[in-house]
Chains A and B, each alone.
Chain A
Amino acid sequence: MASEPVAAAPALAPAAAALGRGRARSRAAWRRRLTILAFLSPWLVGFTIFFGYPLVMTAYLSFTSYDLLSPPRWIGLDNYRYLLSEDVDVWPAVRNTLWIIAIGVPLQVLFAFGVAAMLTRARAGVGFFRTIFYLPALVPPVAATLGFVYILNPSTGPINTVLDRLGIQGPLWFNDPAWAKPSLVLLGMWGIGATMIIFLAALLDVPQHLYESAELDGASALQRLRWVTVPLVSPVLLFAVVLGVIQGLQYFTQAYVAANVAAGAASQAGGSSVLEQGYPEGSTLFYPILLYYHGFRYFSMGYASAMAVLLLAVAFTFTAIVIRQSRRWVHYQGAVR
Chain B
Amino acid sequence: MRRLVMALAVLAGLVIAAASLAATSSPKAEELEVWVGWSAGHELVEFKKVVSEYDAKNKNVDIKVVGGIVDDKIFAALRSGNVPDVVSSFQSNNVGIFCPSGGWIDLGSYLKRDKINVNIFPAASRYYTQYKGTRCALPLLADTFGFYYNKALFKRAGLTRPPKTFAELSAYAKKLTVKKSDGSLDVVGYNPNALFYHGGAGISTYGTLIGATYFDKNGKSNLSRDAWSRLLRWQKSLIDYYGYDKLVRWQTGAGDEFSASHAFERGKLAMMLDGEWRVAFLKNEHPELKYGTAPMPVDPAHKSAYGSGYVNGTIIGIPKGADHEEEAWKLVKYLTTNDHALAKFSNGIRNVPSTRSSSKSPELIPDKNFSTFLKIFTHPKSATIPITPIGLDHLQTFSNFVAKWNAGDVDDLRAGLQEVDKTIDSKIKQKG
The answer on direct contact between A and B (beta carbons under 8 Å) is yes
Q: Which residues of A contact B (CB under 8 A)?
A: 65, 67-70, 75, 78, 82, 86, 88, 153-156, 172, 175-177, 262, 264-265, 267-277, 279-282, 296-300
Query: Which residues of chain B have C-beta atoms less than 8 A from A297's C-beta?
Result: 72
**Pairs A–B under 8 Å by Cβ, sample size 20:** A69-B103, A70-B102, A75-B432, A86-B426, A88-B423, A155-B253, A172-B249, A175-B252, A176-B245, A177-B407, A264-B257, A268-B37, A268-B68, A270-B71, A270-B72, A271-B90, A272-B94, A274-B202, A274-B392, A298-B391
Closest residue of chain A to B200, judged by CB?
Answer: A273
CB <8 Å contact, A67 and B97: yes
B79: interface (CB < 8 Å): yes
B256 touches A264 (CB 8 A): yes
CB pair A267 B257 closer than 8 Å: yes
**Chain B residues whose C-beta falls within 8 Å of the C-beta of A265 in the assembled complex:** 200
- Partner pick for A277 among B101, B102, B390, B396, CB 8 A cutoff: B396
Contact in complex: A300, B71 (CB < 8 Å) = no
Asked whether B400 is an interface residue with its Cβ less than 8 Å from the other chain, the reply is: yes
Bound complex: CA A300 to CA B91 (Å) = 18
Contacts of B37 in A (CB 8 A): 268, 271
With A155-B253, A175-B248, A268-B70 already in contact, the answer to whether A275 and B101 are too (CB < 8 A) is no
Segment 27-59 of B: residues with Cβ below 8 Å from A: 37, 39-40
Cβ contacts under 8 Å, A299 to chain B: 75, 97, 391
Q: Known A155-B253, A271-B70; judge A281-B196 contact (CB<8 A).
A: no
Which of the four size classes fits the interface of chain B? 35 or more
| Distance between Cα atoms of A256 and B250 in the complex (Å) | 23
B97–A69 touching, CB < 8 Å: yes
A277 to B204 CA separation, bound complex (whole angstroms): 16
A296 x B407 contact (CB < 8 A): no
Q: Please tell me if the beta carbons of A296 and B72 are within 8 angstroms of each other in the complex.
A: yes
CA distance A296 to B73 in the complex (A): 10
Give, as a whole number of angstroms, the nearest-CB distance from A33 to chain B: 28
A154 / chain B contacts, CB cutoff of 8 Å: 248-249, 252-253
Tell me whether A274 and B253 are in contact (CB under 8 A). no
Decide yes or no: A273 and B201 within 8 Å by CB, A154-B252, A177-B407, A296-B72 being known contacts: yes
With a cutoff of 8 Å between Cβ atoms, the chain B residues found around residue A78 in the complex are 430
Within the complex, the shortest CB–CB distance from B203 to chain A, in Å, comes to 8
Q: Is the interface of B mostly helix, strand, loop or mixed?
A: helix
> Is there an interface contact between A156 and B195, defined as CB atoms closer than 8 Å?
no
Judged by a CB distance under 8 angstroms, whether B431 is at the interface is: yes
Interface residues of B in 65-117 (CB under 8 A from A): 68, 70-73, 75, 78-79, 90-91, 94, 97, 101-103
Pairs of residues from A and B, 3 with the lowest C-beta to C-beta distance, nearest first: A273-B200, A155-B253, A69-B101
Whole-angstrom distance between the Cβ of A317 and the nearest chain B Cβ = 27
Q: Bound state CA distance, A86 and B425, in angstroms?
A: 11
In the complex, the answer to whether A82 meets B101 with C-beta atoms within 8 Å is: no
**What residues of B have a CB within 8 angstroms of the CB of A177 in the complex?**
407, 409
Q: Smallest distance from the beta carbon of A269 to chain B beta carbons, Å?
A: 8
Chain A residues, Cβ within 8 Å of B404: 281-282
Determine if A267 and B396 form an interchain contact, defined as CB atoms under 8 angstroms apart: no
Contact A270 B70 (CB under 8 A): yes
Question: B403 on the interface (CB 8 Å rule)?
Answer: yes
Per-residue interface assignment for chain B, residues 238 to 252, with 1 indicating a CB less than 8 Å from any chain A CB and 0 otherwise:
000000010011111
Is residue B395 contacting chain A, with contact meaning CB distance below 8 A?
A: yes
Q: Which chain B residue lies CB-closest to A153? A: B252
Contacts of B430 in A (CB 8 A): 78, 82, 86
A276 touches B248 (CB 8 A): no
Docked-complex contact B79 and A68, CB < 8 angstroms: yes
Contact partners of A68 in chain B: CB under 8 A = 75, 78-79
B371 at the interface (CB under 8 A from A): no
- C-beta contact mask, B217-260 vs A, less than 8 Å → 1, else 0? 00000000000000000000000000001001111111011100
Q: Name the residue on A nearest B196 (C-beta).
A: A264
Which of A267, A274, A300 touches B256 (beta carbons < 8 Å)?
A267
Q: Does B177 contact A (CB under 8 A)?
A: no
In the bound complex, CA of A311 to CA of B94 (Å): 29
CB-CB under 8 A from A277, the residues of chain B are 396, 400
